[in-house]
Structure 1
Amino acid sequence: MSQLTTNDLKRFKNELTRFMMMYKFALDALETRIEILKEEFQLLHDYNPIEHTKYRLKSPESLLKKVYRKGCEFSFASVRTHIKDIAGLRVTCSFLSDIYRIQEMFEHQSDLKVLEIKDYIKNPKPNGYQSLHLLLEVPVYMSDRLEYVCVEVQVRTIAMDFWASLEHKIFYKYNQSVPEHLLAELKGAADSASALDRQMERLHLEIEEIKEKQSSDNQDELKRIIINNQQFALPPALLQLLDGREE
């Protein structure tokens, strides 16, 4: 191998590494935001809307295959323009309302830009698939420049995730057309999962109303805050000051 070829290979390797690092750092940034959201909700509402998260970065091999499938030019600029799911984040929530709460959180972050929203909950796919898909543009501070990196975010409930995961396993590497009666059963299972989501959402809201009333009736609890597992009593002087402001 000539020296020139070796240098070219080294340069391409460095460029590819830097390219993939941008997407990895974008996922890191979103992970931090998700952790802050979880802790904030836990402290303020004694409730965490997020069951779990899963982060995924396409491998160079998978990325190359998608470039060939889409027929786009193989350059880093072209890949950034045409392939939007190099970095992916899946957020699994407890309840339906949590999904749109997560969406609002992203929309209210001034340095994030929502590029696209596909709501497969209000408009499910024909096979019954439900999820909220967001394309977010995330700022990434590299050593010598600021980059805006696209990340695909999928937000769904436990029931939606359960259905989607099993649907994928059932039809993994199945390249033939699916018989109509199986498609109907698959859609029926998705409808059942959706009905369960709506029922659990209703139960959740009713219980939250009861808990809110109990909390309001407990004045002692309202005079304490808990931060990082430490309990702090509100100073009497502060309570007197607040009482004076409300008169």
Structure 2
Amino acid sequence: MSDMTQKPVFFFDIDNCLYPKSTRVANLMTDLIDKYFETHLSLSQKDANELHFKYHREYGLAIEGLVRHHKVDALEYNRKVDDALPLEDVIKPNPSLHKLLEDIDRSKVRLWLFTNAYITHGKRVIRLLEVEDLFEGITYCDYGAEDIVCKPHTNMFMKAMQEAGVQSPQGCYFVDDSYNNAKAAQALGWTAVHLLDHSDPDPAHQASQYQIRDLEELRDIFPQFFKSPVGELK
């Protein structure tokens, strides 16, 4: 256990991070969320879309607003939204991603998944990417809990540290495509990397210590965590 707590942990977000935004999973999810708002709250498409983004902006997840204000069953929501996504049609194994993760030296850092999705969605994505064997564990948003906690809330980062067995924020490294999540991680003392899509504009102010547009750039930022120096890779 002492080795586990002393070794730093690198937390990886899943959606729009382990696979690119161009996969358009987020667009498919937005459509299903809007439909859920329309159906269950009897809203017009316009009102459903506005309320969806209001809750996402205020809480980090639309489902938190639904549970908090409308007593929605979060697990039923998950079945009708995340679990209903046709992920098998759009997410495929990525040899480059597998190689990148495989090249990280486990004697120096541990790898952990950290997502705002429910466990069923997170596991489905990493299975389709064929990288499930490269991570030690996963911290997810528990839709079955009485109080839903998600990034960028401090309690969610504390939950990740506890579940991954890391005691100090200085031992936490983190990559996420969300500006707010990267910013919150840095504020807590984590070393955070904000992943931008190639089509994203540069933010007016950088979210965290590092900003990248490709996970391969992690090799340059953290060469101490990789088995081979960048120049030696073929």
Q: Which structure has more RCO (C-alpha within 8 Å, separation ≥ 6)?
A: 2
Which has a greater percent of helix?
1
More strand by share: 1
TM-score after normalising by structure 1: 0.26
TM-score by length of 2: 0.27
